[in-house]
Structure 1
Amino acid sequence: MPRPSVREQLVNAAAECFEERGFNGIGVQEITRSAGVPKGSFYNHFPSKEALAVEVLHRYGVARRLQMLEDETLAPAARLRGHFRFLADDLERFQFTRGCLYGNFGAELSTQSAEVRGQVEAALERWTAKVAALLQESRATGTLKGAVEPESLANFLVNAWEGAALRAKVTRSSKPLDDFFALFDSLVES
């Protein structure tokens, strides 16, 4: 049986460490220890901890399952609600201790790392564009309530989600997410 890639071990260990303790709360030594690899091997794969964080963000984005938003077998509003429900279930799976890595890194690193800030901003923009496209579909099918433009509502929903995820992390409760869904349901007919 082939040995797992040291690079993969580092990325997986860093993802866990960053989720649990944040970027500044963990060092390369702890990441390599958690990965079960020598510290020197880190620099064979990544020039810096910041470069590793960018790779972790990329993988986190894949795990957010944005492709759910493109499943045309479901109505646009159902896809959007299902996507946010998936994200809520993921937060609950960890008893609301982790939050959203985009929000966590954005809050922690936006003034420290232009590279990570740029990656978080780009990820949030991609997500918002997909949400806006679904809201535009909802408007075409008559399930979008009110006169708010889809792009503005998409920005609001993504921003509200990030705030709800942060508050759920602080309160260790689903209440902020429940509030998010109550407002979501008042804006988009499922």
Structure 2
Amino acid sequence: MTSRLEVYGASPITSGAVLWLLVRRLSASGAGRIHGEAKIWPVILSLNGKGGQAMGRASKREEIAQAAFEQFHARGFNATGISDITGAAGVPKGSFYNHFSSKEESALEALSRYAGTLGFDLLTASGKPPLERLRAHFAFLSKDTVDNGYVRGCLVGNLGAEVADHSEEIRAAVKGGFDSWAALIRNVLSEAQEEGDLDGAMDVEATALFILSAWEGTLIVARAEKSAASVDAFFRTVFDLLLR
């Protein structure tokens, strides 16, 4: 390490090990509180000008987070171990805990990443009728299901079924994900009502929840049958009957 800095007037330090020892001693003795407790942490964060990358190590958080997302989606939460994640990321097992406090925390990150793959932009795209946008959204999702051989399913639904009873944090994140998704569908249905393409008496909130719930069930059946029969039934029922 070649970073040089001064700590409370001390001589320049070139050894990361010496710096950490000094910080530990300052913290233990209370000396670091002379100018306020927060003074200790800028010393650590100033290393090489990169917060959180002490000792000059390059962060592997992105590789670990992406690997966790892919492993959880492919294998499920319980079947995925920390070693599976770090192995897929190509990093030592201990590196995981430099960035995530637990497997649950990495699952929350995975849910956030998964949201970016669901084609929500299709629901809000301008220049297309609302029901056409809704169909395009689910057509995008169904293509992914078929192209991947009816495996994986929906990560939100998977984690909800597998972990929600055992982790309040994951349960809350799953609920928040479904609530946001249903709200987007509801907005599309409301637009369709305003444009006269949908019965104005329809309860759009309940209908949006039903459509989303039906889609989650569709994926479960598709994975069990390894066929598109449930997907075809979803489109016929929702778009040819319910939303006529």
TM-score with structure 1 length normalisation?
Answer: 0.94
Structure 2 contact 193–200 (Cα < 8 Å) conserved: no
Which residue identity lines up with residue 78 of structure 2 in the other structure? Answer: N
Runs of 4+ that moved beyond 4 A: none
Consecutive unaligned residues of structure 1, counting only runs of 5 or more, are: none
Unaligned 5+ segments in structure 2 are 1-57
Amino acid at match of 1:154: A
Alignment counterpart, residue 157 of structure 1, candidates 200, 211, 216: 211
- Counterpart mapping for 1:134-145 below 5 A: 134-145=188-199
Structure-to-structure mapping, 1:159-174, within 5 angstroms: 159-174=213-228
CA distance in 1, matches of 2:211, 2:169: 25
- Cα distance in 2, alignment partners of residues 7 and 175 from structure 1: 40
Answering whether residue 242 of structure 2 is matched by residue 187 of structure 1, we say yes
- The count of aligned residue pairs is 186
User: For residues 41 and 120 of structure 1, do their structure 2 counterparts lie closer, same or farther at Cα, with a shift above 3 Å needed?
Assistant: same
Deviation of 1:29 after TM superposition, in Å, equals: 1.1
Give the Cα–Cα distance (whole angstroms) in 1 for the partners of residues 233 and 199 of structure 2: 18
Distance 2:133 2:59 in 1: 35
- By how many angstroms is 1:146 displaced? 7.8
Q: Which has the higher contact order (CA 8 A, sep 6+)?
A: 1
Say what the alpha-carbon RMSD is for the aligned residues.
1.4
CA contact (8 A) 1:92 1:174 kept: yes
Q: Which has the larger Rg? A: 2
More helix by share: 1
One-letter amino acid matched to 2:100: F
Aligned to 1:84: 138
